[in-house]
Structure 1
Amino acid sequence: MTLITIKELYQIMFDQMGPQGWWPGESKFEVAIGAILVQNTNWKNVEYSLDNLRRTTLLRPDKIHALTSKQLEPLIRPSGFFKNKSRCIVALFNWLANSNFDWDELAIQSTISLRSQLLQLPGIGSETADSILLYCLNKPVFIADSYTRRIFTNLGATNFKNYAELKTIAEQNLDLTLAQFQEYHGLLDDFGKENLKSWSASFLVPYQLTNQK
C-alpha cells in the first residue's frame, strides 16, 4: 500500500483520467442553475430541465429573473423537488440582480462573505454554495460532496466526520490553482460515478491517504 497526500491523489487521478472539463455549461448562469437542479437527482434529469429553460428563456439572466416560482416549476419538473428548487432559483437570481447579474462584480468580495450570503438563500447548502463559488465566482474552494467523502473513506482517511471537516482539511493541504481545484472536483465526481461500485478493480486500490490535518 502506497501512502499519498491529498495533492498527490489529484495528480494520480489526473494522470490516469485526463481533463474532465468541469463544470458542464455554456454560461455561468447555466452552471449555477445546474448546481441547484442536480441536488438529489442525476445529471440526465438536469439536462431535461435546462433544455426547457433554454427554450423558454435562452438562459438569459433577465428572463430567468422575470419568472415566478410557479412559472419555473413545470420547466424544472424533470429534476424533481421542483417546488423547492424553483424557490431556490428565484432567490439566487434576486441575489444576482442586486449586482446586475455581474459575476465579476460579485467576485470582488471575499470567499467567506460570498459563501455566507449564498448559504442564507433558501435551498442552497454547502455543496451548492461551493459549486457556485468554484465555477461561477472563480474562488478556489474544495467541494467535499458525497462521492468525494466516499472516495476518501475508501482510501483510508479517518480524519473527518462530515462535509465541513473534509473541506477544511483539503483546503489547508492543497496548493492548487483555480483550474486545478475545478478539475479536482470533476475528477472525483466522474471517478465516483464510474468506480465506487467496483472499487476493487479501480486504479486507486494500491493507495492510502495520509491523515493530514
Structure 2
Amino acid sequence: MFVIDPMPLYHQMFKEMGPQHWWPADSKMEIVIGAILVQNTNWNNVDLALNQLRAKTNLNVKQILQLSQAELEALIRPSGFYKNKSKSLLNVLKWFDQADCDFDKLSQLAGTHLRKDLLALPGIGEETADSLLVYVFDQPAFIADNYARKLFGYLGYPTVSYHQLKHQITLPPTFTYRDAQEFHGLIDEFGKIYLKDSNQFNQSFLSHFKLRVVAKE
C-alpha cells in the first residue's frame, strides 16, 4: 500500500505563499459557529450571518441557546440551509455548553475519542470535525476539503471522497496543529486563485510539482 507524504508540498506552498494565519475569526467559539454555517456556502454569506448573530448575542453561547428556533433561523438565514443549520448549531453549542465551553476540558474528557464524539453530533461531518480538531482543539489533522481534493487530483492523485484522500495522507509526528492550520489555509488560498480549472492550475507554481509517495508498512 502507498501513501502520500504531504510535507514537500506543504514546504513548497509555504515558501511561495508565506503564512496564511487561518482561520479568519476573533475567537474559538466564532470558529465553531462559522464551521457549521460555512457548510455548502461561501464565506461572504457566513460573514453576513455571523454579523447578525453577533449583533444579537455577541456570539455568547448561553445567549444563542436562549433564542427561539425561529429567531436563530432568521439570524443565520444568509448562510443558507438555515433550518438544518439552526438545529445543528443548537445541538453543537449545547455540547460545548455542558463543559462551559472549556475546550481543554472537553478534549481531556474525550481523549482519543474526540473526533468520534464530534462526528456523533448532528450536522458534524468529517470536514467540520477535522476543522474543529485543528482550529479549536489544537490537534494536528489533515483537512481533505474540496480544494484539497481538487489540488491532489491535479497533482495526479484523484480521489472521490473526503475519507479516501484523508487516509492517503500520512502526517509525520513533527507535524503540529499550527502546521495543520497553515497547510489548510495555504491550500484554500491557492484554490481560490488556481483551482477553478486546469488552465489556471497549469499557470501556477505547482504545475510541475511531483508528490512524494511512499510505501506504507
TM-score, normalised to structure 2's length? 0.90
In the alignment, residue 167 of structure 1 is paired with which amino acid?
A: K
- Quote the residue 2:86 is aligned against: 86
Task: Rate the CA distance shift 1:68–1:59 in 2: closer, same or farther, 3 A.
Answer: same
- Quote the residue 1:118 is aligned against: 118
After superposition, give the CA deviation of every residue in 1:110-145 in whole Å (9 maximum; x if it has no partner): 564111111111111100111111101111111001
Structure 1 residue 171: deviation in Å? 3.7
Aligned residue pairs: how many? Answer: 209
Structure 1 residue 157: deviation in Å? 2.0
- Quote the residue 2:211 is aligned against: 209
After superposition, give the CA deviation of every residue in 1:158-207 in whole Å (9 maximum; x if it has no partner): 5x542123212324457411111111001011111111121111110011
Task: Rate the CA distance shift 1:112–1:18 in 2: closer, same or farther, 3 A.
Answer: same
Task: Rate the CA distance shift 1:97–1:87 in 2: closer, same or farther, 3 A.
Answer: same
Distance 2:187 2:57 in 1: 32
Distance 2:174 2:111 in 1: 17
Root-mean-square deviation (Å): 1.7
After superposition, give the CA deviation of every residue in 1:41-61 in whole Å (9 maximum; x if it has no partner): 110000000000110001112
Distance 1:97 1:45 in 2: 26
Gapped regions of structure 1 (runs ≥ 5): none
Mapping for residues 24-103 of structure 1, pairs under 5 Å: 24-103=24-103
Task: Rate the CA distance shift 1:38–1:111 in 2: closer, same or farther, 3 A.
Answer: farther
Distance 1:209 1:40 in 2: 29
TM-score, normalised to structure 1's length? 0.92
- Quote the residue 1:162 is aligned against: 161
Gapped regions of structure 2 (runs ≥ 5): none
- Quote the residue 1:187 is aligned against: 186
1:147 aligns with 2:131: no
